[in-house]
Structure 1
Amino acid sequence: MDLRSLKYFLTVAETGGFTAAAEQLHIAQPAISMSIRKLEQQLDLPLFDRQGKQVRLTDEGEVLLRHARTIVQAVSDAERDMRELHTLEGGEVRVGIPSMLGSYYFPPILMAFRHRYPGIRLEVVEAGTRKLQQMIHSGEIDMGVIVTDDPPDDLETHRFLGAQMVAILPADHALAEADSISYDAFFAEELVLFKEGYFHREVIDQISQKAGVTPRIGFETNLIPLIKQIVAHGFGITTLLEMVVADDPALVAVPFAPTVWLDLSLAWRKGHRLSRANQTFADLVLEQAGNGNR
């Protein structure tokens, strides 16, 4: 059975005649009659009782009618879904973002994407960059934000942000007005840090290893508002992206000496063709970066 024959059969059954079906489908009546005849020959079953211009379904035709409706509707639904994906009226984007960027960099981008393409379902997963790499590999997410100091060979990466990690101190700290802070001075303090697996923590671990010191960690948490409150009340210092404290008068951002810069990229599996919805999201992220949204 082919789809066209089923459509002809369904139309004849619903209109009650070959002539009426031909008019509705805007094709010649003999073409419909021939198609139905071939379908009956293929099935070796009569589908219609023909009585002059009027026809009615046989018992066998009634059985096929149920299936034909289901099949034709399923194909119609599939075609519609494909059109929606092509025109970005539907689809899904699953993106992983570390909490710091998810809270302070991506909200305008996510809202802009949602505004432009309201029919696309947007799923945002929060996790550390190492976990996000694993989720990309396993197919749990379509793309994710990673630090590309040493990008994996099996991921395609596109840099969208260069950001400086800075020491975050309470406004009344002795070093709050300093032009920079040395690694030795930073590690002399009690620290408030993210848990392992986040780029925030990896920066500290890498610096401490180079400096040959063991960080004094007073608090471990991935909750940024809690980290800021702990630092503001003088129970430790931390390091974050400067954007996190830009509007917080209780906290001061002091650059490291030497400075610590990170390259952040949007990544997905190498050789994996992004869906139209995902490619559009990636293009928007890179477009915003090109417009100076940093």
Structure 2
Amino acid sequence: MNLYGLVVFHHVASTGSVTKAAELLRISQPAVTAHVRNMASELGFALLAPKGRGIFLTEAGERLAGHAARLYALQQEIDRDLADYRTGAAGELRLAATSLPANFLLPKLLSVYRETCPDVLVSLLTLNANEAMESLLHYEADAAIIGGGAPDYPGLCKQLLGEDELWFIAAPTHPYAQRQVAFEQLMQEPFIMRESGSAAREQLLALCRVHGTGAPRAALQVSGVHESLHAAAAGIGLTLVSSLEASAAVARGELVRLGVKDLELRNAIVLFTRENEALPPAANHFVQLLLHDAAAC
């Protein structure tokens, strides 16, 4: 059955006129008549009968008109849905992020985004850096936002969004609180280590390689920044975190920042997307908002 023929028949049935149907569809009257004639021939029923200067629907025509009306309504719904999808007003936004952007960067931006795109289904996975990029490569996310920077990744594009500081922190009772110490001296202390694959762990180990020291002794390994902060506040050991993550606890006096001689650490926040692939419209809308916010900072 010719679906466009059903659309044509719907316009004839709803207007009661071949002429009006042709005007609405912007095709010729003979073309409308041909579509209706072909439909009737295919079904084996007369669909229209003359009525004075107009037409009326036969019983078969009435039944077909009901189906055609539903088909036309579905076509209109499809057109509206895809138009919304094309503009980014509908669809899905799937983000993967490490703890820093997931907790301190994305919530405010997602709130703004939701105001303009309330019908988009938004999901945010909080993962370590390796997991976030793997989720992007396996099409489980449309974009990955990594705090702590990350090396180039095959198949992915990287853009710098901004930077903050990295701090060594400890409980206020730690012997090095309120003192300036050498990095090598700090590495003799027990540390709260993040899990393998996390940006924080990789940053710390990279610093050890640069300074020619061994990795610090792990007093505890955890799998999240909040666990790191709580363990440090309990006096279990030192840890390396973003200033954004630790500043509130430091301001409350629960933790202290340790001074390290001749060392200032910057913490990159980067955006990853798949290389040579256009983002889905909803994701592209959010990424443009993210990049605009980063440029304004």
> Comparing 122-131 with 164-173, which one deviates more in the overlay?
164-173
Q: Is the 8 A contact 1:8 1:21 kept in 2?
A: no
Match of 1:104 in 2: 104
Match of 1:83 in 2: 83
Match of 1:136 in 2: 136
Match of 1:166 in 2: 167
Match of 1:283 in 2: 288
Please tell me the root mean square deviation across aligned C-alpha atoms, in Å: 3.0
In the alignment, the residues of structure 1 paired with residue 235 and residue 219 of structure 2 have an alpha-carbon distance, to the nearest angstrom, of: 12
Q: Does 1:266 align with 2:265?
A: no
Q: Which amino acid aligns with 2:233?
A: A
Match of 2:17 in 1: 18
Q: Is the 8 A contact 1:190 1:216 kept in 2?
A: yes
Query: 1:47 deviation in Å?
Result: 4.7
Query: 1:40 deviation in Å?
Result: 3.5
Distance 1:126 1:40, change over 3 A: same
- State the secondary structure of the residue aligned to 1:201: helix
Written as runs of structure 1 = structure 2, the 5 A alignment for 1:250-265 is 250-254=254-258, 256=260, 257-265=262-270
> Comparing 252-261 with 213-222, which one deviates more in the overlay?
252-261
Per-residue deviation, residues 151-205 of structure 1 (Å, max 9, x unmatched): 12421111102233220122232322234x4332222222112211110111123
- State the secondary structure of the residue aligned to 1:259: coil
Per-residue deviation, residues 66-102 of structure 1 (Å, max 9, x unmatched): 6644543332222111221234321221111101221
Q: Does 1:242 align with 2:246?
A: no
Query: 1:115 deviation in Å?
Result: 2.3
Q: Is the 8 A contact 2:184 2:213 kept in 1?
A: no
In the alignment, the residues of structure 1 paired with residue 186 and residue 2 of structure 2 have an alpha-carbon distance, to the nearest angstrom, of: 73
In the alignment, the residues of structure 2 paired with residue 4 and residue 78 of structure 1 have an alpha-carbon distance, to the nearest angstrom, of: 15
- State the secondary structure of the residue aligned to 1:85: helix
Match of 2:177 in 1: 176
Distance 1:267 1:214, change over 3 A: closer
Per-residue deviation, residues 4-39 of structure 1 (Å, max 9, x unmatched): 432221234456x43696499487866533431243
Give 5+ residue unaligned stretches, structure 1: none
Distance 1:66 1:191, change over 3 A: farther
In the alignment, the residues of structure 1 paired with residue 44 and residue 207 of structure 2 have an alpha-carbon distance, to the nearest angstrom, of: 79
Q: Is the 8 A contact 2:179 2:258 kept in 1?
A: yes
Q: Is the 8 A contact 1:149 1:262 kept in 2?
A: no
Q: Is the 8 A contact 1:136 1:144 kept in 2?
A: yes
In the alignment, the residues of structure 2 paired with residue 110 and residue 93 of structure 1 have an alpha-carbon distance, to the nearest angstrom, of: 10
In the alignment, the residues of structure 2 paired with residue 255 and residue 114 of structure 1 have an alpha-carbon distance, to the nearest angstrom, of: 41
Q: Is the 8 A contact 2:178 2:259 kept in 1?
A: no
Per-residue deviation, residues 253-274 of structure 1 (Å, max 9, x unmatched): 2354433333321111100101
In the alignment, the residues of structure 2 paired with residue 273 and residue 26 of structure 1 have an alpha-carbon distance, to the nearest angstrom, of: 34
- State the secondary structure of the residue aligned to 1:122: strand
Distance 1:140 1:164, change over 3 A: same
In the alignment, the residues of structure 1 paired with residue 214 and residue 71 of structure 2 have an alpha-carbon distance, to the nearest angstrom, of: 68
Q: Is the 8 A contact 1:3 1:72 kept in 2?
A: no
Instruction: Report the number of matched residues.
Output: 288
TM-score (norm 1): 0.84
Distance 1:73 1:285, change over 3 A: same
Match of 2:198 in 1: 198
Query: 1:110 deviation in Å?
Result: 1.8
Match of 2:114 in 1: 114
> Comparing 184-193 with 61-70, which one deviates more in the overlay?
61-70
Give 5+ residue unaligned stretches, structure 2: none
Match of 1:45 in 2: 44
Match of 1:95 in 2: 95
TM-score (norm 2): 0.83
